[in-house]
Amino acid sequence: MSDWSQSVAEMDATLFGAFGTSATIAGIPVSVIVDEGEVVFDGAVQGTRRTVSLTKAEANAAGLTPARGQVVVVPGESIESRIAQPPIIEDGLYILVLD
């Protein structure tokens, strides 16, 4: 593993250790970070988009391949929803848009 990849992995572990919350995706326990933001189209707010992020490394270690339609439960955030679209893969993270 390159120095850069090792540094990114250490940063992810620190970030998810500090800000992550317990969740299950398709019944598999993982640590996620929940985000909620506005959906803007043509300069106007059209609604709210809720996402959860998890590292690809943790997903792979847990045997999880996120897919549209899987149930995501985050008890600490009172979330029980389905993945609305195929996962976005960005910089070693899965970003999952929820219904």
Q: How many CB atoms lie within 10 A of CB 23?
A: 21
Q: What is the pLDDT of residue 55?
A: 92
Average pLDDT value for residue range 4-10 = 81
Q: What is the pLDDT of residue 6?
A: 82
- pTM given for the model: 0.84
How far is the C-alpha of 70 from the C-alpha of 30, rounded, in Å? 14
Structure tokens at 29: 């326990």
pLDDT in tens, 19-53: 899 999 999 999 999 999 888 778 887 888 899 99
